[in-house]
């Protein structure tokens, strides 16, 4: 299956968060700055910086969707260098990792995903990075490292992480653990959703395997 959450959806989540929480963030910084004049200058610069990052990331997504991968890679690196601490830099790392993986440079892709996990700036992005890294490791038949990437975290596994964990357990031959992970993931999926139907298919196939093993 493809990535469950697109990079464009992640970008929209961040924009939505800033729209809801931006004022509160600015006000809290106002108290620290103490000077209205200084705050006015700071907020203007901060807003301009955020706007530039948003525009650049939109251009990055456009380049990627149009398969102008050299341009996309250059834009991603520029955003990362411009503000390493921003969520847009993290999003750019995720997209750059995808570009590198599709181009066959799995080592570079895994390094970028590990960076996102280590930095741990945003919970949603951390989970996405873990899922993507685990998928690469699973494709490399490195099932144990893939399992640990998903489990070695204080974060609650997402339903998609649980489904992926089920895939890993099944590959390892632990059908009981695979069934438990799939069942837990299913409880969080929407009824009649495409992902739900696909997961149900996996569960049914797993049950058929169990029956054959008993016979």
Which DSSP symbol is given to 74?
A: H
Q: Count Cβ neighbours within 10 Å for each residue of 8-24 and write b for 16 or more, e otherwise.
A: bebbebbbeeeeeeeee
The whole-angstrom separation of Cα 110 and Cα 117 is: 11
Name the CATH superfamily housing domain 1-146. Answer: Tetratricopeptide repeat domain (1.25.40.10)
Model confidence pLDDT, tens digit, residues 136-168: 999 999 999 999 999 988 878 888 899 999 999
Decide: 153 and 161 in contact? Cβ < 8 Å.
no
Answer whether residue 105 shows pLDDT above 90. Answer: yes
pLDDT at 46: 53
- DSSP string covering 22-61: HHHHHHHHHHHH--HHHHHHHHHHHHHHHHHHHHHHHHHH
pLDDT at 157: 80
Average pLDDT, the chain: 80
Q: Which is more confidently placed, 129 or 12? A: 129
Using alpha carbons, select from 146, 150, 128 the residue that is nearest to residue 138.
146
Q: Of the ranges 39-53, 81-95, 98-112, 187-201, which one carries the lowest mean pLDDT score?
A: 39-53
Model confidence pLDDT, tens digit, residues 81-101: 988 888 889 999 999 999 999
Decide: 80 and 92 in contact? Cβ < 8 Å.
yes
Q: Which is more confidently placed, 38 or 173? A: 173
Q: Which is more confidently placed, 95 or 190? A: 95
Mean pLDDT of 4-19: 54
Answer whether residue 33 shows pLDDT above 70. Answer: no
- pTM beyond cutoff 0.85: no
pLDDT at 78: 93
| Per-domain boundaries in the chain | 1-146, 156-215
């Amino acid at each position: 299956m493809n990535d469950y959450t697109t990079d464009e959806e992640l970008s929209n989540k961040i924009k939505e968060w800033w729209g809801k929480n931006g004022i509160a963030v600015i006000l809290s910084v106002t108290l620290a700055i103490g000077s209205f004049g200084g705050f006015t200058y700071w907020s203007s610069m901060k807003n301009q910086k955020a706007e530039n990052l948003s525009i650049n990331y939109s251009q990055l997504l456009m380049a990627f969707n149009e398969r102008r991968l050299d341009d996309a890679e250059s834009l991603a690196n520029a955003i990362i260098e411009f503000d390493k601490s921003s969520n847009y830099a993290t999003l750019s790392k995720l997209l750059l990792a995808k570009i590198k993986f599709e181009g066959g440079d799995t080592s570079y892709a895994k390094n970028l995903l590990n960076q996102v996990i280590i930095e741990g700036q945003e919970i949603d992005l951390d989970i996405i990075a873990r899922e993507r890294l685990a998928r690469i490791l699973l494709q490399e038949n490195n099932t144990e490292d893939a399992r640990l990437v998903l489990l070695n975290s204080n974060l609650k596994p997402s339903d998609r992480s649980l489904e992926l964990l089920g895939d890993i357990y099944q590959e390892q031959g632990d059908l009981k653990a695979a069934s438990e992970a799939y069942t837990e993931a299913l409880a969080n999926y929407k009824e009649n959703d495409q992902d739900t139907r696909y997961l149900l298919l996996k569960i049914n196939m797993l049950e058929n395997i169990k029956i054959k093993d008993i016979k």
